């Protein structure tokens, strides 16, 4: 097959979705020696194994043309001209109006934008309202990162369950237990923070619910507990002001909470491993990859009991209601003070994290692509017979 891939995220900051796509295609390269792949983007990006079967298809659009619109215009024309057999939309949208004979697979990582639409800019909301639902209709197969996202697709957009396949994300080999003291010392020296810390990873946005964690930190301080510093790793989203206001109004300072901003991939295993606890208080996650990565690094996790999070954590972590800072504060105290509980959580977490592998995800993706292509060929034969 000649398979096209939307590679726009690979030419942006290598975090989040870009990291997921990179890990998947690295495994695809190892397990698939038959098909040819064409990666489409408006900007160049690194592809170490570009060669006879892997090809970058780069064409800049007009100045200031957003990637979403580039895919619908310049990218769409390139895809049609390349006479592909199948196109994989890696992030929520497909180029609309592709040939009917072209098989189309769409990955949907989460449904943050309709569920928490206020966190997105007016432009991004418009792009999704214009293209998202039509993309789900034109896709032959849809991949969801979790059963939770699959259920939301059925409930909100009436996508048939038979069209959806759930493929869990994976954990990279770099995410493994490190010496916790050495890891904490490394993070403290590089980022100028305390050696005694808890961590959370994710963009500062309302649905990440970090204000609940801030309130939990205030409760720990008020209880007289010699509390760890909270390290927040992730982009400072456009709605950061409400988070900063909460920190200030509660009388907390940099000694209590530090914003690290974007932390490079190579530092994340050390950040996780040096944490006494990893906490994710999100109201909503499409998967919650930092949870799996933290467990793989041998760190106890505490998280909300909502959306996809119970799927990822299972019985390996402590799950609490997302709007109860007292519950988070109590859970943090328990994990930090109860040695037996901590040891049991670490052991269960390592076993749970082992379930999430990139080679498994890539194998399931390849099978999904083959299935979509076989179904499209079957449709074509039926049409030919009818005529």
List the beta bridge partners of residue 144: 108, 166
Q: Are residues 59 and 41 both part of a single domain?
A: yes
**Residue 175 in domain:** no
Range of the domain at 284: 180-353
Distance CA 223, CA 342 (A): 21
Q: Are residues 309 and 380 both part of a single domain?
A: no
Q: Are residues 33 and 72 both part of a single domain?
A: yes
- Name, in order, each residue with C-beta under 8 angstroms of 77's C-beta and a sequence gap of 6 or more: none
Q: Are residues 336 and 306 both part of a single domain?
A: yes
Nearest C-alpha neighbor of 197 from the set 119, 263, 282, 137: 263
Q: Are residues 50 and 80 both part of a single domain?
A: yes
pLDDT digits (tens, 9 = 90+) for 77-101: 999 999 999 999 999 999 999 999 9
**Residue 370 in domain:** yes
Q: Are residues 151 and 243 both part of a single domain?
A: no
**Residue 210 in domain:** yes
Is residue 19 over pLDDT 80?
yes
**Residue 188 in domain:** yes
**Residue 73 in domain:** yes
Q: Are residues 113 and 257 both part of a single domain?
A: no
**Residue 55 in domain:** yes
Q: Are residues 147 and 216 both part of a single domain?
A: no
Q: Are residues 195 and 304 both part of a single domain?
A: yes
The phi and psi torsions of 147 (rounded to 5 degrees) equal -65, -35
**Residue 39 in domain:** yes
**Residue 265 in domain:** yes
Q: Are residues 99 and 39 both part of a single domain?
A: yes
Q: Are residues 138 and 285 both part of a single domain?
A: no
Q: Are residues 156 and 273 both part of a single domain?
A: no
CATH code for the domain in which residue 109 is found: 3.40.50.2000
Distance CA 138, CA 10 (A): 24
pLDDT digits (tens, 9 = 90+) for 134-159: 999 999 999 999 999 999 999 999 99
What is the pLDDT of the chain when averaged over all its residues? 93
Number of domains making up the chain: 2
Nearest C-alpha neighbor of 194 from the set 300, 290, 276: 276
**Among the listed ranges 130-134, 307-311, 379-383, which one has the minimum average pLDDT value?**
379-383
Q: What single-letter DSSP state applies at residue 275? A: -
pLDDT digits (tens, 9 = 90+) for 179-216: 999 999 999 999 999 999 999 999 898 999 999 999 99
């Amino acid at each position: 097959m000649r398979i096209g891939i939307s590679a726009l995220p690979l030419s942006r900051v290598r975090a989040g979705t870009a990291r997921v796509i990179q890990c998947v295609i690295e495994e695809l390269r190892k397990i698939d020696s038959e098909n040819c792949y064409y990666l489409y983007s408006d900007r160049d990006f690194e592809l170490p194994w570009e060669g006879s079967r892997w090809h970058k298809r780069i064409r800049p659009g007009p100045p200031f043309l957003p990637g979403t619109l580039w895919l619908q215009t310049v990218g769409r024309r390139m895809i049609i001209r390349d006479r592909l057999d199948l196109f994989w939309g890696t992030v929520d949208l497909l180029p609309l109006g592709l040939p009917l004979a072209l098989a189309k697979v769409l990955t949907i990582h989460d449904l943050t934008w309709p569920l928490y639409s206020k966190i997105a800019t007016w432009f991004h909301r418009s792009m999704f309202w214009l293209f998202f639902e039509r993309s789900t209709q034109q896709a032959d197969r849809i991949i969801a990162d979790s059963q939770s996202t699959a259920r939301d697709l059925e409930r909100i957009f009436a996508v048939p369950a038979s069209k959806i396949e759930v493929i869990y994300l994976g954990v990279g080999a770099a995410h493994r237990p490190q010496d916790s003291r050495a890891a904490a010392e490394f993070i403290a020296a590089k980022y100028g923070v305390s050696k005694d810390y808890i961590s959370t990873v994710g963009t500062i946005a309302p649905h990440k619910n970090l204000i609940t964690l801030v309130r939990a930190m205030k409760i720990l301080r008020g209880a007289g507990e010699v509390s760890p510093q909270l390290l927040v790793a992730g982009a400072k989203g456009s709605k950061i002001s409400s988070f900063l206001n909460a920190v200030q109004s509660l009388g907390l300072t940099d000694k209590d909470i530090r914003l690290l901003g974007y932390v490079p991939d190579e530092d994340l295993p050390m950040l996780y491993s040096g944490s006494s606890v990893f906490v994710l208080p999100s109201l909503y996650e499409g998967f919650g990859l930092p949870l799996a990565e933290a467990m793989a690094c041998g760190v106890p996790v505490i998280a909300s009991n909502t959306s996809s999070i119970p799927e990822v954590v299972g019985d390996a972590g402590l799950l609490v209601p997302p709007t109860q800072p007292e519950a988070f504060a109590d859970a943090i105290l328990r994990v930090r003070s109860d040695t037996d509980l901590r040891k049991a959580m670490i052991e269960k977490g390592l076993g749970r994290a082992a379930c999430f592998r990139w080679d498994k995800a890539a194998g399931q993706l390849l099978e999904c692509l083959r299935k979509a292509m076989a179904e499209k060929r079957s449709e074509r034969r039926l049409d030919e017979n009818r005529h």
